Amino acid sequence: MTRRDFDPTTVVPDGRSPAKARLFDAALPGPYRGSVNGETLPTEVTILTYGNDEPGTGPVLHIHPYDEIFVVQQGRARFFVGDEVIDAEAGDVVLGPAALPHRFINLGPGRLQTLDIHLSPKWIQTNLD
């Protein structure tokens, strides 16, 4: 399939060089294995990786001043976002809008692995639990 979503002649490079940052070390223990602040690359998006093998566990209730997008890469999760409950599985994407408290848990069986995209150049969070 050929895509032509925009005219390439209408965009101009902004002068940034390509960049690389290491997101995680798979040998590290614990659910949070790494993050890359957007300012490191430099961009306006911060990326985290989260995973656990224990059904019923997950991050504490927290809030951000920006949107967060969760990509479920492995397993199943239950997201609590504001007053909504959303079940998601590998391949699903969930939005946590700015200023809405949220958390999620591993529904099991097995590992839950997510890629969490923070629409901010820095990871900014207030835990509520």
The whole-chain average pLDDT of the chain stands at 90
* 48 domain-assigned: yes
* 2 domain-assigned: no
Which positions ≥6 away from 107 have C-beta within 8 Å?
A: 55, 75, 76, 77, 78, 87
* 67 domain-assigned: yes
State pLDDT tens for residues 35-74. Answer: 888 888 888 999 999 999 999 999 999 999 999 999 999 9
* 74 domain-assigned: yes
d(CA 97, CA 38): 19
Total structural domains in the chain? 1
Domain that holds residue 52: 39-85+113-129
Q: 0.75 exceeded by the pTM? A: yes
pLDDT at 29 over 80: no
Q: What is the pLDDT of residue 55?
A: 98
Q: What percent of the chain has pLDDT over 90?
A: 67
Query: With b meaning 16 or more CB within 10 Å and e meaning fewer, what string describes 60-87?
Result: eeebbebebebbbbebbbbbbbeeeebe
Average pLDDT over residues 94-116: 96
Largest Cα–Cα distance of the chain, in whole Å?
50
* 96 domain-assigned: no
* 124 domain-assigned: yes
pLDDT at 28 over 80: no
* 68 domain-assigned: yes
pLDDT band at 87 (very low <50, low <70, confident <90, very high): very high
* 80 domain-assigned: yes
